Structure 1
Amino acid sequence: MTIKPFAASLLAGLLLMVSPAHADEIPVAVAANFTAPFNQIAAEFQKETGHKVVASFGSTGKFYAQIKNGASFEILLAADDETPARLVKEGAAVAGSQASYAIGKLVLWSAKPGMVDAAGEVLKRGGFDHIALTNPKLAPYGAAAVEAMKKLGVYDSLAPKFVTAETITQTHQFVSSGNSPLGFVALSQVLKDGKVEGSAWVVPANLYTPIRQDAVLLTPGKGKAGPAALLKYLQGAKAQAVITSYGYEIAL
């Protein structure tokens, strides 16, 4: 049987409408502190929608530079709210698409039980050679750690002991490996089944500027169904339940 050209093209169009191949592949740049919750959220999102998420994890500062240099990410999940706003202002992200998905919590952590006390007095007491933090010029959690130490009046005495990492994942690795006895990381990185492994002090929120983490639709994702669906999913009850289970607060 011979199918006429018009009928063949119509049939192909109908098949595309129902084919899983019609789903989008979504390149997403994700702040390193949000690695674990995002992997869980992305897996559920893919099951429910058929869209494929291709995630890259790293520092917000480096992602900003890559996006400005033409990286083809379609969504940025930043560790702050300033970088998405800046990208919107500079025309690299879609106006009106920026929204907070989480508020992060800073924690002073050691893999060794008993190393960090519940009041953070270890910062004043000392007894350690190194303290790890993420580069404050690249990562909001690093900037928050510097701000907290300055408010506590310990920054100058601790600065010679700093071990500075490029990402918060690397900071966590420094501490978990024992190369640094303690360091500032995200609470989400050290929670397991609702409990902190090792020893930790959750830094009081009044010691640093709130770490409001915003998502934004980047220009390459404009008008595409997949990125729009993912941003909407992040604001839904299922995703928010995962986010809070990792110690984040939901932005209201």
Structure 2
Amino acid sequence: MLHPLRHILFTLGLSLSLIASVQAEQVQVAVAANFSAPIPAIAEGFEQATGHTLVAAYGATGQFYAQIKNGAPFEVFLAADDSTPARLESEGESVIGSRFTYAIGALALWSPQAGYVDAQGAVLKANQFQHLAIANPKTAPYGLAATQVLAKLGLSQAVAPKLVEGQNIAQTIQFVASGNAELGFVALSQVYKDGRLTNGSAWRVPAELHEPIRQDALILKKGQNNPAAKALLDYLRSEPAATVIRAYGYQL
């Protein structure tokens, strides 16, 4: 038989455990493909801090917009731009006041071959490659940024016949990694961690060569009554999340 005090503590602990399990929720998150590398660490920290679970789907921002408009069950959207979330907000598809910029992305010209891409990106002007991969500029903000870089450098026409388009930035890096393209414009976060390149060679594209890649998050209408949705956006503003985000080359 338990001592009365131990019985009280046991009962209290059991009650708190039951409350936590009742309050713990899942949140369905549409995540821009460029952010797929940081998300596992963020999801783990989020679960430890709140008890909630993050369930992620990855894709192009433009494709997610169409899916959300067609009733997809996403509750939070982590986009690769700020214009798509703003559009969803103006169309009544989100919780007003929830939108904020969770990261500012960086673009990189990358090859898995060491020494192939120089630190100034001169390999582009040399134009000796057969294929250059970019994400679809109509649906992927990093693809749009890539076309802006090419235009700024006066290379749009010269490389146009060599472009290979991925549906999103995840497919784009697969084209390069598999050898279907010698190099490609990818998200820096895909090839960078903790202050260094993870493999191959790359040129970190100067930010002035394209419009800022401001990545906004917001709670969608389907997540308005899910406490895990608000908890996730709060967690994204926390220092533990910021540490992970910076580690992959993003700015805040």
Scaled by the length of structure 1, what TM-score is found? 0.91
Aligned pair count? 237
CA distance in 1, matches of 2:22, 2:201: 47
The equivalent residue for 1:86 is: 87
The equivalent residue for 1:108 is: 109
Q: CA deviation at 1:60?
A: 0.4
Q: 5+ unaligned residues in a row in structure 2: which ranges?
A: 1-14
Q: CA deviation at 1:208?
A: 0.2
The equivalent residue for 1:66 is: 67
> Of 196, 210, 213, which aligns to 2:212?
210
- The amino acid that maps onto 2:66 is A
The equivalent residue for 1:233 is: 235
Q: Which secondary structure state, in structure 1, belongs to the residue aligned with residue 30 of structure 2?
A: strand
Q: Which secondary structure state, in structure 2, belongs to the residue aligned with residue 214 of structure 1?
A: strand
Pair 1:95–1:19, CA change in 2 (3 A) = closer
Q: CA deviation at 1:222?
A: 0.8
The equivalent residue for 2:223 is: 221
Q: CA deviation at 1:192?
A: 3.9
Q: CA deviation at 1:16?
A: 9.3
Contact 2:117 / 2:201 at 8 angstroms: preserved in 1?
A: yes
Equivalence map 1:52-201=2 (5 Å): 52-196=53-197, 197-201=199-203
Q: Deviations over 1:17-37 (max 9, x none)?
A: 614143111000000000011
1:47 and 2:48 equivalent? yes
> Of 241, 248, 251, which aligns to 1:249?
251
The equivalent residue for 2:37 is: 36
Pair 1:249–1:115, CA change in 2 (3 A) = same
Q: Deviations over 1:187-232 (max 9, x none)?
A: 0000144321111101111110000000011001113211001000
Q: Which secondary structure state, in structure 1, belongs to the residue aligned with residue 95 of structure 2?
A: coil
Contact 1:16 / 1:22 at 8 angstroms: preserved in 2?
A: no
- The amino acid that maps onto 1:249 is Q
Q: CA deviation at 1:50?
A: 1.1
Q: CA deviation at 1:166?
A: 0.2
Contact 2:193 / 2:249 at 8 angstroms: preserved in 1?
A: no
Contact 2:80 / 2:216 at 8 angstroms: preserved in 1?
A: yes
CA distance in 2, matches of 1:19, 1:40: 22
Q: Which secondary structure state, in structure 1, belongs to the residue aligned with residue 190 of structure 2?
A: helix
CA distance in 2, matches of 1:82, 1:132: 24
Q: 5+ unaligned residues in a row in structure 1: which ranges?
A: 1-13
- Root-mean-square deviation over aligned CA pairs: 1.3
Q: Deviations over 1:115-136 (max 9, x none)?
A: 1111111111011100000000
Contact 1:233 / 1:239 at 8 angstroms: preserved in 2?
A: yes
- The amino acid that maps onto 2:115 is G
The equivalent residue for 1:10 is: none
Contact 2:20 / 2:51 at 8 angstroms: preserved in 1?
A: no
Q: Which secondary structure state, in structure 2, belongs to the residue aligned with residue 62 of structure 1?
A: helix
CA distance in 2, matches of 1:193, 1:112: 20
Q: Which secondary structure state, in structure 2, belongs to the residue aligned with residue 180 of structure 1?
A: coil
Contact 2:27 / 2:226 at 8 angstroms: preserved in 1?
A: no
CA distance in 1, matches of 2:181, 2:174: 9
CA distance in 1, matches of 2:179, 2:22: 46
